[in-house]
Every structure is written in structure tokens, then in C-alpha cells.
Amino acid sequence: MEMNAFKSYATPFLETFKTPGAIVALSNPKYQQSFGYRNVEEQQPIDEDTIFGIGSVTKVMTCMAIMKLQEEGKLSVHETVSTYVPEFSASEDERSKDMTIHHMMTHTSGLPPLDTLFYANKKSISNEEFKAMSDHLDVNSPSIDTETEFFSYLRSKSYRLLADPGEVFSYSNDGYSILGYIIERVSGLSYADYMQRVIFSPASMKRTFFSPKKLEDYENVAMLYTMEQKDNEAFTEASPTWWDAPTMWSAGYVKSTAKDMLSFGNQLIESEASILSTDSLKQLTTQHVQIEPDLYYGYGIMIRTDFFGRRTLEHAGGIKGVSAQLTVLPGEKTAGVCLTNIAGAPASSVLESALKVTLGENPDTPTVTYEDVELSNESKQFMLGTYKANEGQSLEIVEKDNAMFIVVEDQEVPARMVGEQLLAVHMYGMEHLVQWSGENLLFGFRQLERV
């Protein structure tokens, strides 16, 4: 294994994305490499014990906790959400009663992307930041700080379900927040206490927790950075305030280290697992729903069957000051993690390149390739338009000189036609698919509605 090839590839790649600091660590073979600094201004180095955010990688931990409760006979994933949370209703839609725990775990409840997360974060966000997030957010609307306020917001906000429960995939932070409340009601503990008792402590995750207040107990903590613009030039700026949404911790608010995350990753390898039974682990990692060609969702984990002939279990995470990726190759008994301290860093691509080298591939070998196809003018015209979601995502498909582009975050990105109602775009060092489900567009794993 020649990991120098990985370091030579990753160093300039991370610099291109202006990533202040990052660490990549693997369990088998044992390897770690840091890049940049946890605090650029003070030139503080990164090591395996540096605390970062992990964002939505939290979701697999939440699902592992649900599976533990099922093992203990305290719930079934096929029971309805209303069994445990009778006050839950999605915009007063009667179909809410048919949503199961399984639907929430697999993002197939029918809930559309919602802006709940922004209002749940509001107390930890300045008014200026809040206004900049999306033009539809109301700075005068109250924050969502309690369980009662969370469920009241889901009931009262006006929105349409995407489909009947179980019919379509659309990533939902709200669904995972609901799972956290189910864990609390079934276990009799707070979500954070249950996670500490059942997941973090058994997995020897000694520097893993939720509350930003606990960061004060540690010195080796990554400074958060944001990307700013001035005179049409991008630059990074320290932004030390951690967003916090206690009402939605179960969707993505764990803080952890590379060392702890490798310990957790090993819990997804059958021969190493000590938290879940073999049967529960199998259910967790079953390909419950297909998202893209050779990309599936299990319970809180994404699954690929052909990563250079190997199966992977993986999840990414991103929020302010955080880009993270956990990937496990169970057949190789390898867990891998990449943690960074800025949103939009190519954590997934960087970790993939390290894993490729361990498998004897070049770090820049494409993981998946899509062949160009010719589409009729009618097919292209169907794709054109603007698509939005209440969570703040907005995307436009345009055609120029017989070529397709997507416009996202004020950037015009070339798109290749790779299938009927299927585009491929190169972003963050990887190919991403844009695909249609009826009139809706699936991008970033979320269903966006045509405007």
C-alpha cells in the first residue's frame, strides 16, 4: 500500500476547496493523515483526538439506537409513528397515521424537505446569518426550542406530502428528529443520555457528545470556518459559534473525533460488532430503498454494492463548519473517516481516494462513470425549469447552445445527459446525479418541486 500517492493527491485537492483543516483515518490498514490546522490563525495541528462535528453521520447512530430498542422488545420498526407520538401530524394530513418507524428510518415517509431545522437552530444563529440562509425564512418567527413546538410546527405549517408513505425517497431531517423523540419515550431517558449509555460508552467513544457547552471541557477542538466572498474572491473566515438545535439532535448534531468514529465504524462490521446482534445489524444494512443506480438506503446508512467490487456502508454529514464522511468496507473489515472544519469541503471524495489506494487503485480513478446519451428535444424541454424545496434548496436547469447546465448556489455547472430524465454533474470532486420522479427533481437526495 503506497499511501504517499493519496497524500500527494489529497493535499492540493483540499487546498483547491480552501479547506482549513481535515483528517483522514482508516482502521484496517491502520492509517491517519491530517491536513492543515484545527485553528489556522494559531497554527494548531490536528490529530485523532481533535473534536469535529459530524453532521448527519449522526443518523446511523440514531438508527442503531432504534434497532437496540427493537432487540429489547420495546418497539418494532414496522409500528406506526403515532403509536409512540400520537400528537404527530404532517400538515394535518390523514396519511400521517400510516407512517411507520421504518418509513422515517428510510426517508420514505412522504415528508417533503422542510425548514424546521433552521428555526430549531435559530437561537444559535445571528439574525444576519439567519436572513442569509434563505429568502423565505422569517427572522421574526419564533425559534423551535421544545418538543411541543416541534410537533406544533409540523402540524401547522402548510405543505403537501410528496406521496403516500413508502412510495418515494426524500431525505428528511424532520423524520430523524421524530426518531429521537421515539427513543426518549420508549427508553425513558433523554435522547443524549440513551445514546451515551447504549452507543457511545459501549463503543469506547470517549470524546463524543452532543452539547456545544461540553466543548469548553476540551482544548483539542476544531475551530469552525465559513466561506465568504469579497470582490468576487472566496476566502475562509473563522466562525466559532456552533449551530445547535436540541429539538433535532438526533438528525445531525454529534461532535466526535477520528479515533471515536473508527470505533463506531467497527460496530458496522459483523465480526467486530458488540452493540447490535447479527440479525439487527443485517436489518440496519439491508438495501431497503434504491436512490440511484447502485446506491441504496438502509437504516441511517447508504449502501453501494460495487465500490471496485466491494460493498460499502457510508454516510456523509454537513452543517456550518462541518463536512464529514464515514465509510465502512465490511468485507475488508475496514472503517474509514474524513472530518473537516468547513461546510462544502470534499470529505466524501477525499476519503474515497484514500480507500481506493488501499485497494490498489489510483486515488483519482472515477468511482462510477456514466455514458453520455442523446436525448430528444422533448426530453430536454421537460427537464428545464426551476425547482425548490422548503428546506431552502433551489436549482435551475437551463440549456445553452444545445448543452445542459444546472444553476445552484449562483454557480452554473455543466451537466451531461446520461439517461432519460437523468443528468450527471461534477461537484466536490465527484459525479452526482440529477434525476426526476414525476414532476419532482431528486438532487442532494431531496425531492425538489417544480416551480
pLDDT tens sequence across 242-256: 999 999 999 999 999
Q: Distances from the Cα of 223 to the Cαs of 20, 38, 40, 42, 123, in angstroms?
A: 9, 6, 8, 10, 20
**Average per-residue pLDDT in the chain?**
94
Under the banding of pLDDT at 50, 70 and 90, the label for residue 303 is very high
Range in 184-198, 238-252, 400-414 the model is least confident about: 400-414
Q: Bridge partners of 296?
A: 290, 303
Distance CA(171)–CA(107), nearest Å, equals: 5
Is pLDDT at 100 greater than 60 in this prediction? yes
Q: Is it the case that residue 284 has pLDDT exceeding 90?
A: yes
DSSP H or E run through 30: strand 30-36
Parse the chain into domains and list their residue ranges. 1-367, 377-450
The answer as to CATH 3.40.50.720 being correct for domain 1-367 is: no
Among all chains, which residue has been given the C-alpha cell 473537516? 340
Choosing among 3.40.430.10, 2.40.128.600, 3.30.460.80, 3.30.230.30, the CATH entry for 377-450 is 2.40.128.600
Is the pLDDT reported for residue 1 higher than 60? no
| Lowest model confidence (mean pLDDT) among 168-177, 314-323, 354-363, 388-397 | 388-397
Upstream peptide bond of 29 is cis (omega within 30 degrees of 0): yes
Summarised one tens digit per residue, pLDDT across range 210-250 is 999 999 999 999 999 998 888 778 889 999 999 999 999 99
- Can you list the positions of beta strands (E) in 252-402? 254-256, 289-292, 295-297, 302-307, 310-319, 322-329, 334-340, 385-388, 394-400
Residue 134 is predicted with a pLDDT of 66
| Position 176 pLDDT exceeds 80 | yes
Does the model's pTM come out above 0.85? yes
- Please give the backbone phi and psi of residue 250, each rounded to the nearest 5 degrees, phi first: -70, -5
pLDDT at 187: 98
pLDDT at 162 over 80: yes
Q: What pLDDT score does 126 carry?
A: 76
The answer to whether residues 416 and 370 touch, using CB atoms and an 8 Å cutoff, is yes
Neighbour tally for 1: CB within 10 Å: 12
Distance CA 306, CA 303 (A): 9
* Residue 129 one-letter amino acid: E
The DSSP symbol for 209 reads B
Length of the chain: 451
The CA-based dihedral angle spanning residues 68, 69, 73, 76, taken in that order and rounded to the nearest 10 degrees: -100
In this structure, of 78-92, 330-344, 425-439, the range with the lowest mean pLDDT score is 425-439
